[in-house]
Structure 1
Amino acid sequence: MSHDQVTPGDGASERRRWEETGPEELERLARQRPEELLAAVERLCRGASGEGISGRPTVRTIGRIAEVLADTRSRGCAAYAVDIVDRLLPPEVAASDERDRIRRSVAARLAKAQPFRNLESFFEELPEALHDPGAETRACLLGELALLGASAGVGPGRSRLRAYAERLRELEHPLAWLPEIRLDIEHRFMVRVRGLGTVKTSQQLRSRFPEIPLSERGAVAGRVAVRVSDGGRTEAAARPFTAGGWARTPEVRFFSLPEPLDPGDFGMSFLEQLSLDCLRADAGRRRGAALACATTPDDVLNELFSAGYYGGVGGQGQGGAYARLYAWDSLYALMGLSADVPLLTAVRVTADHRWVRFMAFTPWFHHDTADVAFAVLDPTRTRVAVLAATDTDREGAD
């Protein structure tokens, strides 16, 4: 179907027409007559004004068109995509979570598909406030460009990017806290390596990470560990998984020890003595031995990033910019760092912590789609944080 064969109708019929338009036809229109796609979005938005918060189908259709325009390598298509998310999705029309998803998706697609010359004009005018039209879109776009390394370099365009980023820092936008280039510790973000997918078996875990031997001293220390409640840290540590829509709320626990724990004793012998739901085995239901392996902070950070970036089976990805923010929020929470600690300082002190990946064969885990479990011992060797996440809502999964 081509757009010149479509006549405007009521909002529902207009939406159905565009829902039924195949991806090839949308891509063809984006290449040849992108202005018609913009006109269609304008009509859809006018029709959605009566739907209120229930207008999700229309919003999804608009997002589909905006994403196709963002993917089409053209200055005009890039401008239309930005216009849609800046101007044509007002809060009173679009459900906020769907609006955020579209904006973040469009920003990520623009950063990947468009040459920098098609994007630099978006940063010519600095925002007066965070609620200014376009400020959020450009914050996301800056975050995506930083991850791709496209914001580095010199020239008028890059200067505009840096000026815009500085203005966002002045306005205290949360994304502006992140550096404008990818850090070495973030080297695995958005990188998939064949054969290195989700760890599902003990053999896979042992093949990638050195196993920590069992330790009687660790077991003794675990029995005297005291659980400490901290709602703020718990929420921040779980954020990559809750934002990404993982099916089950992660288990986040914090513990204190009466005396320092030797790093060599920080393994499964210690963890199995803690009050953790993920390690609680029903009688006769344990299907294998639990094990813990030493890992590195970049491994943990990458798993946190991936949880938000790819999203859960029933959730949705949050885009690179916000997945990066949520990953760092979580890592800070696991290390017990306050928000005012500079990011590079946090990177430096990760080496002072002991990082452990662990796996258990209990009803809490399901060893199918995605399971991750980490424990962190702080530099004083007296504080422990545990995070375990599984993307299933099946109780007692086999």
Structure 2
Amino acid sequence: MNDNDVPPGDAASRRPHWEQSSPAELKQLAESHPAELYEAARQLCRSALDEGSEWFTAARTLGRIVDALADTRSRDCARYAVDILGLFPQLGPEPRKEGDRLCRSVAEKLVKAQQLRDLEALFGELPERLDDPAVEVRACVLGELALIGVGCGRPVLDAYAARLRELRHPLARLPRTRLDVEHRFGVRVRGLGSVKTSEQLRSRFPEVSATDGGAEGGRRAVESVDAGRAGAVAGPFVVSGWSRMPEARFYVLPDPLGPDDFNIAFIKELPLACLEGEGTRRGVAVSCRTTPDDVINELFAAAHHGGVNGQGKGQGGAYSRLYAWNSLYALMGLPGDVPFLEAARLAADHRWLRFMAVTDWFHHDTADVAFAVLDPSGTRVAVVAATDTDADSHPYF
């Protein structure tokens, strides 16, 4: 009898308490008896439905089984992992949400662990609708493949991607290849973590000195409230559970601001919550010149890694890319139908700043991110500031 001939229920009789299995045990079973592990997941789902078990326990165990299968290089393991995700809706609406979240992390694991030819075998049948976890995980897999620069030119994958565009899947509008401006996504340089202090900011980016013209320009700026745009800007931080709601604001100037006057003196004149109390503590506010690839990389990283209060809320590479681009478009005030390559070109025409100050907002202990962008006309400015820390343990709170 091979793995595919395991009778229904036999796996469950061998191992009735799957929630007690260690990751090492699940990994070993995935390597040696993937069909048994798959049948155990199906039995677990049936038991949860028949006995009215709490969905949380069943969903958590299904997730651990899926992770073990996705991490094991095998065409069968890849297929079983995707099929198990289709069981989550059977447990109810809350497990369905958990299954949708799991799709993102499982897709990332599949692309890292599996061979492309084995992943390609998952795309033989085109989807008819989007409300299916099996379709969602495949969409995420295509998104993950785009981030590593593979998948284009393979007819099966191209056909599936085209069908997702027809169905208007949100990931389908992203480029199927990685753009140059995205070259830093997922790349970590040893010794370079998040920027936590003004000294670190100065050491990594060229400082822009304050000017009287900048201060005058800031005093003349008028805020333009746009809740929808602010939500898109803040998206990467919100979805991944950063500890504080980001601040996203937009301003209009009556006259063009000179490029050299876009600096910390300008920013300090804006009514920003992140700068409240600036100047009352030891230390100075700093602004430094940066580039669009730095900005979009920070937006991607925010969504991808998850915040200190958002364990398990990392969005996976495909959706982190989507949230990062949505945020960048909103910072520049671009409509969604602008092509990505054109957006990247336009981003290069904007002026971008990183800034930091010694205030209650900037905790200087985990991750503080603050950007300002001036449009090519010199009359529109967008600002976003986000902080991620264990606020309960911080002396300011």
TM-score (norm 2): 0.92
1:124: which partner in 2? Answer: 124
Map residues 132-147 of structure 1 onto 2, 5 A cutoff: 132=132, 134-147=134-147
Q: Provide, for residues 170-218 of structure 1, a one-character-per-residue CA deviation record: whole Å limited to 9, x for no partner.
A: 1111100000011110011111110121001112111110000110110
1:382: which partner in 2? Answer: 379
1:206: which partner in 2? Answer: 202
User: What secondary structure does 1:73 align onto?
Assistant: coil
Matched residue type, 2:168: E
8 A Cα contact 1:49 1:93, kept in partner: no
Distance 1:133 1:208, change over 3 A: closer
Alignment of 1:171 with 2:167, yes or no, is yes
| Equivalent position to 1:325, from 322, 326, 335 | 322
| Equivalent position to 1:161, from 151, 157, 174 | 157
Alignment of 1:7 with 2:7, yes or no, is no
Distance 1:160 1:397, change over 3 A: farther
Map residues 130-279 of structure 1 onto 2, 5 A cutoff: 130-132=130-132, 134-152=134-152, 154=153, 158-279=154-275
Distance 1:373 1:46, change over 3 A: same
Q: Percent of pairs identical after alignment? A: 59
CA–CA separation in structure 1 for the residues paired with 2:10 and 2:199: 58
User: What secondary structure does 1:289 align onto?
Assistant: coil
Distance 1:54 1:318, change over 3 A: farther
User: What secondary structure does 2:381 align onto?
Assistant: strand
Question: 1:342, CA displacement in angstroms?
Answer: 1.1
Alignment of 1:349 with 2:355, yes or no, is no
8 A Cα contact 2:144 2:317, kept in partner: yes
Q: Provide, for residues 36-88 of structure 1, a one-character-per-residue CA deviation record: whole Å limited to 9, x for no partner.
A: 21122112222333798962232122111101100100111111101111345
2:299: which partner in 1? Answer: 304
Distance 1:53 1:364, change over 3 A: farther
User: What secondary structure does 1:119 align onto?
Assistant: helix
Q: Unmatched 5+ residue regions in structure 1?
A: none
Question: 1:132, CA displacement in angstroms?
Answer: 4.6
Map residues 65-104 of structure 1 onto 2, 5 A cutoff: 65-90=65-90, 92=92, 94-104=94-104
Q: Unmatched 5+ residue regions in structure 2?
A: 1-8
Aligned length: 385
Q: Provide, for residues 352-376 of structure 1, a one-character-per-residue CA deviation record: whole Å limited to 9, x for no partner.
A: 1000000111001111111100001
Map residues 52-71 of structure 1 onto 2, 5 A cutoff: 55-71=55-71
CA–CA separation in structure 1 for the residues paired with 2:53 and 2:230: 30
8 A Cα contact 1:365 1:397, kept in partner: no
Q: What's the Cα RMSD here?
A: 2.2
CA–CA separation in structure 2 for the residues paired with 1:52 and 1:364: 46
Distance 1:165 1:241, change over 3 A: same
2:6: which partner in 1? Answer: none
